Chain A
């Protein structure tokens, strides 16, 4: 099993550009999450989904949108990138009834 995969692995954007990060999981997990990781700040939750067709805001949702049209995919969009969104983005998933989250390898995004 591939587990949780993320594409792309690296991306450089100019301020104002848009992009979509794709997360896919093959474990049939109900829950999916998007985090950003910045030095000295641990991981902060951006948005999450408790099932296909549902999304909810996390701790730092501003500037991001998400969609979960298929159970196995969770998309994170940046409509107008800003330098403050330079970070490493992680996707995670988990199954109902278990707290453990399985993380993808991350996407390193730089906004200039």
Chain B
């Protein structure tokens, strides 16, 4: 079983601060995805990274895939209260294995005004 360790588990910061969430594994994934989940709803995809070393930006969010495709990070610049939510990383297996996703435990982010 492939495992993904996500840290920190909880993060409470003030509006305007920067933060980084980490997602680490000893296994190689074909791709890695970041999802955001609001209370009472299902996760919604933010980004997919596929190539080792890849960096993607989504407004104030920067996602990076490690060179060896085993780890990833999510950096948020100047966090806003609207960024509050549960952030989940998920590693995808190959298509031949059903492209199953292995999820990290999640990071509960609270941005205080």
For the complex, is B73 an interface residue (Cβ under 8 Å from A)? Answer: no
Whether B74 is near chain A, meaning CB under 8 Å from some CB there, is: no
B9 with A45: CB separation less than 8 A? no
> Is B113's beta carbon under 8 Å from chain A?
no
Q: Which of B12-20, B61-69, B98-106 contacts A (4 or more CB under 8 A)?
A: B98-106
Measured between beta carbons, the chain A residues less than 8 angstroms from B41 are 105-106
Across the interface, which residues of A come within 8 angstroms of B6, CB to CB? Answer: 42
CA distance A48 to B48 in the complex (A): 21
B side interface size, CB within 8 A: 26
Quick one: closest B residue to A49, CB to CB?
A: B98
A74, CB-defined interface residue at 8 Å: no
- A41 lies within 8 A of B95 (CB): no
Considering only residues 14-48 of chain B, those with a C-beta below 8 Å from chain A are 30-31, 33, 40-45, 48
- Is the Cβ of A103 less than 8 Å from the Cβ of B101? no
Q: What chain A residues lie within 8 Å of B90 (beta carbons)?
A: 43
Stretch at the interface among A12-20, A64-72, A94-102: A94-102
User: Once the chains bind, are A40 and B105 in contact (CB under 8 Å)?
Assistant: yes
B residues neighboring A (CB under 8 Å): 1, 4, 6, 9, 30-31, 33, 40-45, 48, 88, 90, 92, 95, 98-101, 103-106
Residues of A within 8 A of B (CB): 4, 31, 33, 35, 40-45, 48, 50, 56, 58-59, 90, 92, 94, 96-97, 99-106
